[in-house]
Structure 1
Amino acid sequence: MQRTHEPFLKHLSKNKTPYVIVSAEDAEFDDITLQDLRAEGFETHYVAMNDDPPTRFAERLHRIGNQLAGVNERFAVVAYGDAASALLTHHPAATSRFSALIAYYPSTIPDPTRTSYGMDISILVHLTGTNVNITRNQEVLGIQGKRKTVRKRIDPGLGVGGELKLAYPSYSYKGVESGFAEHDLEEYDSVAAEVAWGRTLGVLREVFGVKVDVERIKDQFVEGMYCCGDLWSWSGQELMVNEVDVEKNPQKALASLHPEAKVVFAPTLAGGRTSSQLTQFYENHFAPSPASLNARLISRTIGTDRVVDEMSLSFVHDMEIPWLLPLVSPTHKKVEMTVVSIVKIRGGKLETEHVYWDQASVLVQVGLLEHGKLPVVGADGAQAVLGRDVELNGLLGGEG
């Protein structure tokens, strides 16, 4: 499967060329991962471990990295399986141009209580399951002997990506197997892979001084895809509906999306997974919006590759709104609701948007659910988030 990306240099700031070497055992590797790294602005090369012994392989890879980086630049390595184990154990000297090692499911790791890395080297380890093999050097009177491998049980936390208390940043992903981050393997797990990718991307950007304005990319999506022909516009923190009916331009809106973009409005299963589905959704189901619609940004959280917006929406239900109340005729009732939008950016384009809200609250306000007979609330939920004086714990039988 091929991915195509357009440059997004206007969003990307970097001081020097960020060289990234990807390494694993086999001669060929997951093309999607390599393409995704390149799309993020990293000059990416693949080096196979082949049948080299660990020490020889580590020396060869460091030599290739130093040649790539030249005199004044540095390189990072993203390694998988046995290649990751070899590089964790045979790490370079402090004078190396090696800046970071990100290890995916190494078969063994060096003793985290006795292993130290240079101050200039960033380490990140992604592990699987609840056990890990640890290699230790046996010592007798200060003389190192043979290495011994022991199996240690680890606590993976709540599920996906629990942080481990080791000497270097390490995370364990429960319920997945080695290979979970490689798209071309049966073991691939999209949830664990995405969490690990965000952490990997964060380390790489930090060590190379790469900055990406994901907030601006998100706002361009709002202005392009959501507005679908400038039906909405931002004014400070408020998203207002324009009074002028502007001709929709879905092609312009889709330009801000990743080729494999997916948009899901979870409560109603609205959205799309392909360009044609998204075009149809935004043309026929999302716009136009009620003239009374007022949207206000409550909070924004910005991560490595995600922007999370918490918004307040209010409007009069005087027209059909397919994405919110499909197959429901206008009730002419006022609705207040809070919406959470989680946008993920990949390669400078929006790859996914997940949108959530309390549908039961909306149904109460338009008269489709009876307040008081079910454990649901109406506009009070949105008003409480906005800081208004609303009684809390009413459904629990407690006092606010």
Structure 2
Amino acid sequence: MDVTAGLPSAKPVQLGNTGNIVLQPPLSRCGQGPGLILLRPVSYAGYQQQNTSLDPEPLQKWAEESFAVAQITLDVDLSGDKAALQHLIQEAQDGLTALSECTQDQFGLIVFGSKADYISQFEATLRDVPLVKNEAWKVVALLSFDSWDIQVTNTPRLVHASGPDKLPQEDLQIQYHYADALSPGFVIPGHPDFQYATAGVSHTRSLKFLKKHLGGPSFDLERIWDEHTYFEFSDRSVEKTMATMVQEPYVNHVPTLTGGIGRARLSHFYLHHFIFNNPDDTGLDLVSRTVGIDRVVDEFIFSFTHVKQVDWLIPGIPPTGKQLRIPFTSVVNIRGDRLYHEHIAWDQATVLVQLGLLPEYLPFPYPLADGTLPAPGKRFEYRVPAAGIETADKLQNGDDVPSNGMFEYKIREVDDR
């Protein structure tokens, strides 16, 4: 099986003779989008080699979002040389403008790192670059991870501030604060201060900001998610399912810890434990859907007859012949026009109740709230606070099942046998 089916093949290219600019065409299925210029300190150049997460370095990540990306790496000499910085920015702009996959000649600018990551003159140098000061400046959205004093008329600015001592700037249109992040490196995979979850939150915020001011890229996230599930449950094709996903995706079925991390493992999981593992009468009935800037959140009822062992849902349980209707929640992250990850959750207790595998009562091995212990030869049991198919009925129609019935559940005392 070709697990790379459908992956974009656009390779990064070097611009100019200095080796400081890399141009990366979009890594989406549509293959085009607006332009981004990334400025990064040279100290950030080696972190991808230390990256152990699925999150790629910013150049690839933003290209997967369907941006055309020009990345400028600045060493000490370049970051303090106004003429050199002017030339590099101009070269990046020209490279993006000449790129057929870049859909416009105005760009977003992201400045990575803190002031401590650059030479002390860098802030003043960037502020005084002629491109920044006149109409030749084609940047229409400025995003950074420190509070740079770069006054650009009518250019929207977003700052992601890290550390407990960062205070909001009154002149900023938007600022987000991450008190637990140790440095601006929290968004750089492989950096000692990288924080996967916090980086994900900031990326979504950045994406919303850039899409607004660059006019895209825009995709029908519902269609992309529906296409993916069609290939999973109707067409039942591993190759086509994987073709809807980024280079290194993952799936996490939260209650059972099943799924796959990375393309090879996820492809194996889909082939051996998911796509052909679901019974023929499997159904998904949508209850609600919320669509964000890069996510689709679904509530749905997952139903099937348990005529085969379903590894990913109830691993190790032989077929019982029971019919199940299970409330599910899925949070799907879409990067560009391909899926990055799925977080799928459900109440495993209702599955076991519907299968007849969870007793109505179980031992309660503790004293009661007032300190009472069971009498000699006796034990306490609690009524398990879990419901069966009623959970699905109540999700689909809240009036079908009365609320709060479990409030009447009590501890009972029985013979200890």
Equivalent AA in structure 2 for residue 81 of structure 1:
S
Across the aligned residues of Structure 1 and Structure 2, the Cα RMSD in angstroms comes to 3.5
Cα shift at 1:303: 2.1
Q: For residue 285 of structure 1, what is the aligned residue in structure 2?
A: 273
Tell me if structure 1 keeps the 8 A contact 2:78–2:85: no
Deviates more, 1:356-365 or 1:38-47: 38-47
Q: For residue 99 of structure 1, what is the aligned residue in structure 2?
A: 140
Cα shift at 1:284: 2.7
Q: For residue 389 of structure 2, what is the aligned residue in structure 1?
A: 379
- Counterparts in 2 of 1:397 and 1:12: CA distance versus 1, 3 Å: farther
From 309, 314, 325, the equivalent of 2:314 is: 325
Cα shift at 1:357: 0.5
Q: For residue 41 of structure 2, what is the aligned residue in structure 1?
A: 24
Q: Distance in 2 between matches of 1:254 and 1:75?
A: 31
Q: For residue 405 of structure 2, what is the aligned residue in structure 1?
A: 394
Equivalent AA in structure 2 for residue 258 of structure 1:
V
Equivalent AA in structure 2 for residue 168 of structure 1:
Q
- Counterparts in 2 of 1:90 and 1:371: CA distance versus 1, 3 Å: farther
Equivalent AA in structure 1 for residue 114 of structure 2:
G
Cα shift at 1:75: 2.3
2:225 equivalent to 1:218 = yes
Tell me if structure 2 keeps the 8 A contact 1:129–1:176: yes
**Cα deviations by residue, 1:64-90 (Å, 9 ceiling, x for unpaired):** 545654698322211121279938994
Q: For residue 72 of structure 2, what is the aligned residue in structure 1?
A: 47
**Cα deviations by residue, 1:162-208 (Å, 9 ceiling, x for unpaired):** xx987421112242211111113121111111111112222222222
From 180, 183, 189, the equivalent of 1:175 is: 180
**Cα deviations by residue, 1:257-300 (Å, 9 ceiling, x for unpaired):** 32312111111111112444333322332224234332111222
Cα shift at 1:11: 4.3
Equivalent AA in structure 2 for residue 251 of structure 1:
E
SS of 1:268's equivalent in the other structure is: coil
Q: Distance in 2 between matches of 1:47 and 1:265?
A: 39
From 341, 361, 365, the equivalent of 1:352 is: 341
Tell me if structure 2 keeps the 8 A contact 1:58–1:90: no
Tell me if structure 2 keeps the 8 A contact 1:202–1:304: yes
Cα shift at 1:44: 2.1
Question: Sequence identity of aligned pairs in percent?
Answer: 27
In the alignment of these two chains, the number of paired residues is 337
Structure with the bigger percentage of helix: 2
Q: For residue 144 of structure 1, what is the aligned residue in structure 2?
A: none
Tell me if structure 1 keeps the 8 A contact 2:39–2:74: no
Tell me if structure 1 keeps the 8 A contact 2:350–2:386: yes
Q: Distance in 2 between matches of 1:314 and 1:51?
A: 60
Equivalent AA in structure 1 for residue 108 of structure 2:
A
From 244, 264, 275, the equivalent of 2:252 is: 264
Equivalent AA in structure 1 for residue 273 of structure 2:
H
- Counterparts in 2 of 1:201 and 1:296: CA distance versus 1, 3 Å: same
Q: For residue 77 of structure 1, what is the aligned residue in structure 2?
A: 109
Tell me if structure 2 keeps the 8 A contact 1:49–1:57: no
Q: Distance in 2 between matches of 1:99 and 1:61?
A: 19
Q: Distance in 1 between matches of 2:84 and 2:213?
A: 22
- Counterparts in 2 of 1:35 and 1:365: CA distance versus 1, 3 Å: same
- Counterparts in 2 of 1:131 and 1:280: CA distance versus 1, 3 Å: same
Consecutive unaligned residues in structure 2, runs of 5 or more: 1-6, 10-25, 49-56, 98-103, 362-382, 410-417
- Counterparts in 2 of 1:188 and 1:319: CA distance versus 1, 3 Å: same
Q: For residue 34 of structure 1, what is the aligned residue in structure 2?
A: 59
- Find the structure with the greater CA-based Rg: 2
Pairwise mapping of residues 38-187 of structure 1 onto structure 2 (< 5 A)?
38-51=63-76, 61=85, 64-65=88-89, 68-69=92-93, 73-79=105-111, 80-82=113-115, 86=123, 90=127, 92-93=132-133, 95=135, 96-104=137-145, 106=146, 108=147, 118-119=153-154, 121-132=155-166, 152=167, 167-178=172-183, 179-187=185-193
Tell me if structure 1 keeps the 8 A contact 2:300–2:328: yes
Q: Distance in 2 between matches of 1:97 and 1:305?
A: 26
- Counterparts in 2 of 1:396 and 1:101: CA distance versus 1, 3 Å: farther
From 354, 361, 368, the equivalent of 1:365 is: 354
Q: Distance in 2 between matches of 1:334 and 1:193?
A: 41
Equivalent AA in structure 2 for residue 334 of structure 1:
Q
- Counterparts in 2 of 1:123 and 1:60: CA distance versus 1, 3 Å: farther
Q: Distance in 1 between matches of 2:182 and 2:297?
A: 29
Tell me if structure 2 keeps the 8 A contact 1:11–1:212: no
- Counterparts in 2 of 1:205 and 1:395: CA distance versus 1, 3 Å: same
Q: Distance in 1 between matches of 2:220 and 2:31?
A: 7
Tell me if structure 1 keeps the 8 A contact 2:85–2:126: no
- Counterparts in 2 of 1:332 and 1:209: CA distance versus 1, 3 Å: same
- Counterparts in 2 of 1:397 and 1:208: CA distance versus 1, 3 Å: same
SS of 2:406's equivalent in the other structure is: coil
Q: For residue 12 of structure 2, what is the aligned residue in structure 1?
A: none
Tell me if structure 1 keeps the 8 A contact 2:251–2:341: yes
Equivalent AA in structure 1 for residue 65 of structure 2:
E
Q: For residue 206 of structure 1, what is the aligned residue in structure 2?
A: 212
